[in-house]
Homo-oligomer: A and B are copies of this chain.
Amino acid sequence: MSKPTPLSGFPELLPEQKFVEQRVTDSLRRTFELHGFAPVETRAVEPLDNLLRKGETSKEVYVLRRLQADPEQADTDAGIGLHFDLTVPFARYVLENAGKLEFPFRRYQIQKAWRGERPQEGRYREFAQADIDVVMKDELPFHFDIEVARVMAEALSVLPLPPMKLRVNNRKLIEGFYRGIGASDPAEVIRIVDKLDKLPSTTVAEMLVAEAGLSEEQAKQCLSLAEISARDTSFVDQVRALGVEHDLLTRGLEELAAVVEGCSSVNGDRFSVEASLSLARGLDYYTGTVFEIFMEGFEFLKSVGGGGRYDALASDGKTTYPGVGISFGISRTLVPLLSRGVLAGSRAVPSAVLVALPDEASRPLSDAVAQQLRAGGVPAEVAAAPQKFGKQIRYAERRGIPFVWFFGADENGAATDHQVKDIRSGEQTPADPATWQPPAEDLVPAVLTQQSPDKEQHS
């Protein structure tokens, strides 16, 4: 086999990068669980009819077949494909297990998904994401909209990532506004206003007139609404100043104000929550709150997450399951940051200590020392070969292992005279393998950030 080449759209990480991803997923999981969200993992595949219920994604689905499927049994496998998000499989999981779940059901799901779309930075054919959702039977109280926003905000604000912004809007608010100005087809207005991030506002205004049948004055009001954004509830007065009245608008303003207000405790430098009235999210199953997440300095990635409320996440004909949730793109965020060196792991192995090997006959001694360190929770490995100590130190250096452990042997052949060397400073001190601990920041690989790769570390 000659040297293989990477497969476009299927990113893989080196071990030192994988540590960073692990730190991120561990941290997300911890926050979600602290808030009572239970883990769910769904199979990678779904029946095609479940994947294709929303026609727009059909061209992205990877379909599976067994290479040597027996034609007579072909239907056993026929019609399954890889899931392209975690919402479709979760909705199916809720229906399938409804009798065994307690509602409201809070779940998180950190898993891969696949889309056969054209790869580009931040958009991959295989990608990991982290979703949280709360699902209820029949009716889902509004306070869960605030809860999912706050949980995701807290989860992202403690990650070692560039500052993030959660933009929030409300479909009732914009639909009520468009109805209030007399638009006959609010869905069409939403579709056109949603293009504001790609097209100049004059073009959007022309489209609103030509395609949504608005007057120029109505189109102008739509753009005025879209221009409003605020990190507090001051947007309410700005919207009211536009002089439009509609019950849905009133309800939407209340809900959006409640989300922004409810997130005030997490609103800060590393994470901000902003009412952003241009946000629409094209998908028409959202019925109230909508979210999108952006990363500072990486706006070219577009949103790195999003979500909202859907009044019918799933339905079996008798019972309807409304939900509200947010998804965060782990691969979309981390792969660009890692490949650009904005984030890096501090070493390529988990080992904090390399136990030196004086000679091959001493391997059981070195093994025993390493095992004592591990019993104290310190990751350790033994040198692969009894090279000169200078070479063993370089062995550690190449892997980023910060400490090398030396020892002698007493007259009975037991290990003695233990010394630990910090190979960065060169400092060597006596130590007891049963009790020694490295500084906390050296115990496990650290996440280094570009600003100051040598010093700045996030835990």
Contacts and interface: CB of A to CB of B under 8 A. Distances in A.
A66 B63 contact: yes
Contacts of A44: 44, 112, 114, 126
A286 B14 CA distance: 27
Contacts of A68: 58-59
A40 B14 CA distance: 7
Contacts of A349: 36, 38, 102, 106
Given A349-B36, A385-B141, A41 B18 contact: yes
A317 interface: yes
Contacts of A377: 34
Contacts of A18: 38-41
Contact of A3 (B19, B40, B316): B316
Contact of A116 (B10, B77, B92, B398): B77
A302 interface: no
A379 B34 contact: yes
Interface string A84-96: 0000000011011
Interface string A368-412: 000000100111110011000000000000110000000000000
A200 to B, nearest CB: 32
A77 B45 CA distance: 18
Contacts of A425: none
A301 interface: no
Interface string A139-158: 00101000000000000000
Interface in A1-41: 1-7, 10-15, 18-19, 22, 33-41
A7 B80 CA distance: 10
A116 B316 contact: no
A61 interface: yes
Interface of A: 1-7, 10-15, 18-19, 22, 33-45, 47-48, 50, 53, 58-69, 77, 80-82, 92-93, 95-98, 100-102, 104, 106-107, 112, 114, 116, 126, 136, 141, 143, 314-317, 348-351, 363, 374, 377-381, 384-385, 398-399, 444
A208 B14 CA distance: 48
B348 A102 contact: yes
B317 A35 contact: no
Contacts of A143: 363
B316 A36 contact: no
Contacts of A1: 50, 53, 92, 95, 314-317
Given A6-B96, A11-B43, A60-B67, 18 more contacts: A1-B314, A4-B47, A4-B95, A10-B45, A14-B101, A15-B101, A18-B39, A33-B379, A35-B380, A35-B381, A36-B350, A38-B348, A62-B64, A62-B65, A62-B66, A62-B67, A63-B67, A67-B116
A116 B11 CA distance: 25
Residue with the highest number of chain B CB atoms closer than 10 Å, among A41, A82, A315, A316: A41
Contacts of A114: 44
A418 to B, nearest CB: 19
B12 A93 contact: yes
A103 to B, nearest CB: 9
Across the A-B interface, the 9 shortest Cβ-Cβ residue pairs: A36-B381, A66-B116, A15-B38, A33-B350, A59-B68, A36-B351, A10-B43, A34-B374, A61-B67
B100 A14 contact: yes
A314 to B, nearest CB: 7
Contacts of A2: 316-317
A65, A81, A126, most chain B CB atoms within 10 A: A65
B63 A65 contact: yes
Contact of A4 (B4, B37, B92, B100): B92
A67 B65 CA distance: 11
